[in-house]
Amino acid sequence: MKKLSFIFLFFLGSALMGMAQVKKPTPKPKAKNPAVKQTTVKHQVVHSNAQKIQRVEVITEYGTIVLKLYNETPKHRDNFVKLVKEGFYDSLLFHRVINTFMIQGGDPNSKHSDTSEMLGSGDVGYKIPAEINPALFHKKGALAAARDNNPEKASSGCQFYIVQGKKYTIKELEQMINNINMGRKQKVLYDLYQRDTVQEKINALQSSGDKEITRKYIESLQPAADREFTAKYPKATEVDMDQIEVYQTLGGTPQLDGDYTVFGEVESGLNVIDRIAKLPTRDSDNRPLQNVRMKIRLL
């Protein structure tokens, strides 16, 4: 099996190097040399006039943050409102803080924890089904639900984070998109390689001792992997140029897009997020050295 793994890794490395070389279209306004196809899909969230927009106020000793909850993510909105009405978040901590990334809170274990306790595992015993929407992205001030590594990307019933992030250049965004797509391509190719029929074929070819035929067979898997990748990620090389502009001018955490549910955004108080995000933290778990308690109420 070591020999099989070596052959696969050599082939995979070659395939991924090719994956990184994305053909660049003719530049359009707002971007220089983008790595991917340009599309303009307006990222502004349009709310129905018939449905009131719910806002909440997050009060901390570093200032107050006003959040708007999206009607486009009703399960997350309603769950958050329910917990706020119950006073669930009052006196909980922002227990995980990473400068230029985000501030996270909502762990019920944080209310009465001592300063040495590791936090982040507390929950309410249920998850919220994912409501990931490409138009709702991780710009600075985005409110999103934390989650574990469950394959459905279902959210924690109570833990949330607010994005601080950073500004990105077009080259950084281009590289990030390439890296994401390379990771996806790697997973598709690996899954294909691990199928029983493929493994049986490779074992038979290797037993025959014909290294050249074995190599050619492994290389022949690449077109099949390409087709599966395209079918699974049909818009992998398309980007919303409005979102790209926001990541360049306002900032955010684009590497989280598509993996976590964004269900609101900051209307006022971005400076409060900056203050909290810059607090000194423990190296082990990014917990602030001084407790940062919250109180949340409906507006």
- State the pLDDT at residue 232: 87
pLDDT at 214: 87
Q: Is residue 47 part of a domain?
A: no
The pLDDT score that the predictor gives to residue 292 is: 97
Q: State the Rg of the chain over Cα.
A: 23
Same domain, 228 and 278: no
Residue 208 banded pLDDT, cuts 50, 70, 90: confident
Per-residue pLDDT tens for 216-273? Answer: 888 888 898 999 999 988 888 788 899 999 999 999 999 999 999 999 999 999 999 9
pLDDT beyond 60 at 101? yes
Indicate whether 125 and 271 sit together in one domain: yes
Tell which residue, 156, 181, 135, has the closest CA to residue 83. Answer: 156
Q: Give domain status of residue 39, yes or no.
A: no
Give a yes or no: residue 239 inside a domain.
no
Domain presence at residue 98: yes
215 and 262 part of one domain? no
8 A C-beta contact, residue 246 and residue 42: no
Whole-angstrom distance, CA of residue 127 vs CA of residue 120: 15
Give the separation between CA 29 and CA 219, rounded to whole angstroms: 40
Q: Indicate whether 267 belongs to any domain.
A: yes
The pLDDT of residue 121 is 92
- pLDDT over 90 percentage in the chain: 61
Containing structural domain, residue 213: 2-30+171-232
Q: How confident is the prediction for the chain on average, in pLDDT?
A: 85
> Is the confidence at residue 27, as pLDDT, over 80?
no
Instruction: Answer yes or no: pTM beyond 0.85.
Output: no
Judge if 147 and 73 occupy the same domain: yes
Q: Is the same domain home to 210 and 114? A: no
226 and 118 in a common domain: no
90 within a domain of the structure (yes/no): yes
Decide if pLDDT at 81 tops 90. Answer: yes
Task: Name the domain count of the chain.
Answer: 2
Residues 6+ apart with CB under 8 A from 81: 54, 56, 69, 298
Q: What number is the average pLDDT over the span 177-202?
A: 89
Q: Is residue 122 part of a domain?
A: yes
Q: pLDDT value at position 50?
A: 58
The answer on 284 and 211 residing in a single domain is no
Are 193 and 266 contained in the same domain?
A: no
- What pLDDT is recorded for position 82? 98
Provide, rounded to the nearest whole percent, the portion of the chain with pLDDT above 70.
Answer: 83
pLDDT higher than 90, residue 46: no
Average pLDDT over residues 200-222: 87
Q: What is the pLDDT of residues 113-170, one digit of tens each?
A: 988 889 999 999 999 999 999 999 999 999 999 999 999 999 999 999 999 999 999 9
**144 and 280 co-located in one domain:** yes
* 46-72: average pLDDT: 88
In a domain, 200, yes or no: yes
Among the listed residues 222, 217, 292, 228, the one whose alpha carbon sits nearest the alpha carbon of residue 58: 292
